Amino acid sequence: MSKEVIIIGGGAAGMLAAIEAGRNGNRVSLYEKNDKLGKKLYITGKGRCNLTNACEDVTFFQNIVTGKKFMYSAFYEMSNHQTINYFEELGLKTKIERGERVFPVSDHSSDVIRALENELKNNQYNIRIHLRKEIVKIEHKNGTVSGVVLKDGSKAEADSVIVATGGRSYPACGSTGDGYRFALECGHTVSEQRPALVPLEIEEAFVKELQGLSLKNVKAMIRMDDKNIYEGFGEMLFTHFGVSGPLILTASSFLKREMYNRRMKLILDLKPALSMQQLNERVLRDFAENQNRQYKNALGKLLPVKLIPIIIRLSGIHEDKKVNEISKEERLKLISLLKNFEMTVVGDRGFTEAVITQGGITLKEINPSTMESKIMKGLYFVGEVLDVDALTGGFNLQIAWSTGYLAGNSIK
């Protein structure tokens, strides 16, 4: 017999769970408190929707920060390559870009949402979509879910409830932490939530002068108390408040709240392809070509224009000094600065600018083979509300697809 399934949240995980539960012959009601489905999905990947990553399985798990083992069952039910095929079957053409990131050929996230919406409205399935309907409580009897209560006071009965409410990131999209409250009210344990994949705030005032400068192929290291917390290589961006970009967002996932009070240092190697000796030889060549020019006019080949005034100030060499008057000691100080460009991390931009949420519903209380609660029968949790998170590159959306798919297929 078919079951009455209620899904709370019309994001990535919720929509996929609804489709699969519907394909299994259930009567499905998908509740979304926004006026349209996939509101956060619409802005992912700068509006292009990096829907998964086409890497090897081992690489996928290397990119999961929290919950690697928990994700095995879900991933092998709906892997990254199965996800690509899934969307192709829904009529969405995809392409693979640098870093194995997968995007729709159109570069429009709206096409991803449209493909899912079209399938949700397929007449073969009994799926009802309820927009602008907010659920405020999950009802249960004798350890089994029985239905939900809506904000307007009405009730809806259910044999199964799938919570796909997201985390706390981008609260303007409706991710206000409702799922954590539902979990607590149903007897679950919820760990502290933190912003992750989030831009970092920098103490030094010079970052404002660098606003808009993008650096490619730089090495970044975050140190605290003489210990390396993170080390990586890639692309970053200076902003009016500090730093952002893929390299910085990845670094942020390894930082804990209490660390911001202990003066962490972000150290950039602006020339990671060169050793100190090689960089010294490079600077000597540049100086030889400009020996009669002022120092401020001799760094054009070495650095982006915006960075030159900052490097000049920090190097302690007067900008009007002739290059042929710069001492060996001064030159070596410049080289050290280029290999160790140091800034002080004082905070992050919070949930309003975080891509995802770290923390959430404790995984040991969820059956990884079904996404069903071990505490309450008929209750399922999927996507960002779980204490699972990964790095940038399509991995977090894959977690949403995999867990949503598994939960929807577990209700038969």
User: Structure tokens of 257?
Assistant: 């709240």
- Show which of 300, 321, 349 is a domain's final residue: 349
pLDDT at 260 over 90: no
Model pLDDT for residues 182-193, shown as the tens digit of each residue = 999 999 999 999
Answer for the pair 13, 382: CB distance below 8 angstroms, yes or no.
Answer: yes
Nearest-angstrom CA–CA distance, 75 and 66: 14
- Find the length of the chain: 412
**Looking at the 3D structure of the chain, how many domains does it have?**
2
3-state secondary structure the chain: CCCEEEEECCCHHHHHHHHHHHHCCCEEEEEECCCCCCHHHHHHHHHCCCCEECCCHHHHHHCEEECCHHHHHHHHHCCHHHHHHHHHHCCCCEEECHHHEEEECCCCHHHHHHHHHHHHCCCCCEEEEEECCCEEEEEEECCEEEEEEECCCCEEECCEEEECCCCCCCHHHCCCCHHHHHHHHCCCCECCCEEECCCEEECCHHHHCCCCCEEEEEEEEEEECCEEEEEEEEEEEECCCEEECHHHHHHHCCCCHHHHHHCEEEEEECCCCCCHHHHHHHHHHHHHHCCCCEHHHCCCCCCCHHHHHHHHHHHCCCCCCEHHHCCHHHHHHHHHHHHCEEEEEEEECCCCCCCEEECCECHHHECCCCCEECCCECEEECHHHECCEECCCCHHHHHHHHHHHHHHHHCC
Cβ neighbours for 204, distance < 8 A, ≥ 6 positions apart: 343, 344
Domain co-membership, 299 together with 205: yes
Lowest average pLDDT, out of 9-23, 32-46, 104-118, goes to: 32-46
pLDDT at 334 over 90: yes
Domain co-membership, 364 together with 345: no
- Give the domain CATH number at 394: 3.50.50.60
Q: If you average pLDDT over residues 21-37, what whole number do you get?
A: 97
- pLDDT confidence band for 175 (50 / 70 / 90): confident
Domain co-membership, 142 together with 13: yes
User: Structure tokens of 159?
Assistant: 């044999």
Residue 131, SS3? strand
Nearest-angstrom CA–CA distance, 408 and 160: 10
Query: Over the range 323-343, which residues count as b (16 or more CB within 10 Å of their CB) and which as e?
Result: beebeeebbebbbebbbebeb
Domain co-membership, 336 together with 361: no
Domain co-membership, 67 together with 163: yes
Domain co-membership, 183 together with 230: no
Would you state the pLDDT for residue 191? 96
Model pLDDT for residues 113-167, shown as the tens digit of each residue = 999 999 999 989 999 999 999 999 999 999 999 999 999 999 999 999 999 999 9
Q: If you average pLDDT over residues 315-330, what whole number do you get?
A: 95
Answer for the pair 374, 366: CB distance below 8 angstroms, yes or no.
Answer: yes
pLDDT at 262 over 90: no
- Show which of 317, 349, 381 is a domain's final residue: 349
Residue with tokens 């509006």: 47
Domain co-membership, 56 together with 19: yes
Domain co-membership, 177 together with 324: no
pLDDT at 170 over 90: no
Helix axes of 395-410 and 12-23: crossing angle, nearest 10 degrees: 30
Residue with tokens 């809506």: 150
Phi, psi at residue 293, to the nearest 5°? -95, 165
Would you state the pLDDT for residue 2? 84
Q: If you average pLDDT over residues 257-262, what whole number do you get?
A: 85
pLDDT at 1 over 80: no
Helix axes of 276-289 and 328-339: crossing angle, nearest 10 degrees: 120
Answer for the pair 238, 219: CB distance below 8 angstroms, yes or no.
Answer: no
pLDDT at 270 over 80: yes
Helix (H) or strand (E) holding 75: helix 72-77
Domain co-membership, 127 together with 211: no
Nearest-angstrom CA–CA distance, 119 and 285: 63
- pTM of structure: 0.93
Domain co-membership, 371 together with 222: no
Domain co-membership, 133 together with 59: yes
Q: If you average pLDDT over residues 352-379, what whole number do you get?
A: 97
Cβ of 128: how many Cβ atoms within 10 Å? Answer: 14
- Show which of 334, 349, 364 is a domain's final residue: 349
- pLDDT confidence band for 258 (50 / 70 / 90): confident
Nearest-angstrom CA–CA distance, 96 and 100: 6
Write the single-letter amino acid at 231.
E
Residue 283, SS3? helix
Its domain, for residue 29, covers 4-194+356-410
pLDDT at 46 over 90: no
Domain co-membership, 178 together with 205: no
Model pLDDT for residues 70-123, shown as the tens digit of each residue = 999 999 999 999 999 999 999 999 999 999 999 999 999 999 999 999 999 998
pLDDT at 412 over 80: yes
